[in-house]
Amino acid sequence: MKTGAILAAFAAVALWCSGLGAAPKPARDQAFEQKIDAELRARDPEAADLFAEATAAADRGDADGAADRFERVRAAAPWFVHATRRLCGVEVKRGHRDRAISLDEVVPKKQAFANVYAFVPVAPVDPEKIEKAIATAMNRPATPSDSHPPPVDRIAWVTKLAAPVPGEEEGDADDAWSLLGTREAIEERMTETVRRRLATRGIPMAKAE
pLDDT of residue 167: 79
H-run or E-run covering 39:
helix 30-41
Cα diameter, the chain: 67
Q: What is the rounded CA–CA span in Å between residue 105 and residue 194?
A: 14
Counts of helices then strands in the chain (DSSP H, E): 9, 0
pLDDT, one tens digit per residue, over 54-105 is 999 988 888 888 888 988 898 888 778 788 778 877 877 777 665 665 665 5
**pLDDT digit string, tens, across residues 127-183:** 787 788 788 888 888 878 778 888 889 888 988 988 887 778 887 778 787 888 788
Instruction: Summarize pLDDT for 7-34 with one digit per residue, the tens.
Output: 444 444 444 344 333 334 557 788 888 9
Domain ranges of the chain: 3-21+28-140+148-157+175-200
Are 191 and 113 a contacting pair, CB within 8 Å?
A: yes
Residue 80: how many CB atoms within 10 A of its CB?
A: 19
